[in-house]
Amino acid sequence: MIMSRKRTLLLMLSMLLAISIWSPLTARGASEHSPTEQVVTVTDSRGITLSLRSYPQRIVSLSPNITETIFALGGSDRLVGITDYCDYPEATRDIPTVGDLLTPNVERIVALEPDLVIISNLGQLQTIEAIERTGIPVSFIDEPESMEGTYEIITKTGLLIGKAEEAQLLIESMQKTMADISGIASEPHPTVYYVAGFGEWGDFTATGDTFIHDIITRAGGDNIASDAVNWSFQLELLHAYDPDIIILPPLWGSTFEETLQQFVDHPSYAPLSAVQAGRIITIDNNIIERQGPRSAQAAMQLAEQFLMHAW
């Protein structure tokens, strides 16, 4: 009895296996005949090609820029899960979160029964593996930290959710904004320093290897930290370069006014020319950090402020 039950189970398992091997093929065959059941085939940034038998209907986005992109492309009705950091646009409030960026809750993700999880952070690779083991399709979208990389992220997201045309339109409008910016960019380029962190425990800035650096450069700024890497910078270099303009995004949980007060009152920064002359500008760091639909807008905001200070 026991033996035969085991044998039955084994037989059922092998049948299931056979079906699961064949199913992608049959799905592909079927899609060629019926236009409603299109196949999604997207190679992600790991080089892994994901094939879906239909467009995903329950999507979990584990990155704020992907969430923004899905919203911008009009696919937000299919978002069932996002992270704590996905705060734009306003409507993200109504979508359940699955935890923070680096350690999302895998159980919560699985419980949402998604048919696609999109990830864009290398730190989440362990999470990806855990989700993939449960059989949920995962796409990893992480492109070079530049405007081209951003367009690629939008293109891939569009392909994945079946909004390729919308993605193309969005990219074209962003490219138009970027072309407008190069038209107004001031000459000569002002030297610029972006404050990613300051004060007690060191100075951090958008170094040459960051997306923010690319945005600053395209907005017509000459980033003094272009040769530095990994966000870290030394205070004495800031004084040695003494930049024309300082970009100061508000600190986490503070307003720009509070942050500005703290910055100009600090003895380490008070003597800088940009502080003395009041050439400190600001930008919402979420707009400039995230590689998404608002990236061109970030560049435009900077370009306009650079112009204002170029007398």
| Residue 286 near residue 301, CB atoms below 8 Å | no
Asked if 202 touches other proteins (CB under 8 A), the answer is: yes
Rounded distance between C-alpha atoms, residue 137 and residue 59, angstroms = 10
With binding defined as CB under 8 A, does residue 232 bind other proteins? yes
Per the structure block, which two tokens stand in for 276?
Answer: 């003395």
Q: Count residues binding other proteins (CB under 8 A).
A: 28
Do 164 and 198 form a contact (C-beta atoms < 8 A)?
no
Smallest gap from residue 122 Cβ to other proteins (A): 19
Among 104-112, 154-162, 169-177, 202-210, the segment contacting other proteins (CB under 8 A): 202-210
Q: Among 34, 47, 133, 252, which residue interacts with other proteins (rule: CB under 8 A)?
A: 252
Residues 207-226 that bind other proteins (CB under 8 A): 207, 225
Q: Which of 234, 257, 276, 277 binds other proteins (CB under 8 A)?
A: 234
Cβ proximity to other proteins, 162 vs 197, nearer residue? 197
The smaller minimum CB distance to other proteins, of residues 168 and 232, is found at 232
- Cα separation values, 114 from 118, 138, 153, Å: 10, 10, 20
* Binder of other proteins out of 4, 90, 227, 311 (CB under 8 A): 227
CB of 155 to other proteins, least distance (A): 33
- What Cα–Cα distance (Å) separates residue 148 from each residue in 49, 104, 223, 275? 21, 28, 19, 34
The verdict on 269 binding other proteins (CB under 8 A) reads no
Instruction: Using alpha carbons, select from 102, 154, 111, 159 the residue that is nearest to residue 131.
Output: 111
Quote the CA–CA distance of 75 and 84 in Å, as a whole number. Answer: 19
Beta pairing partners, 139: 118
Binding residues for other proteins, per CB under 8 A?
A: 100, 197, 199-203, 207, 225, 227-230, 232-237, 239-240, 242, 252-253, 262, 267-268, 271
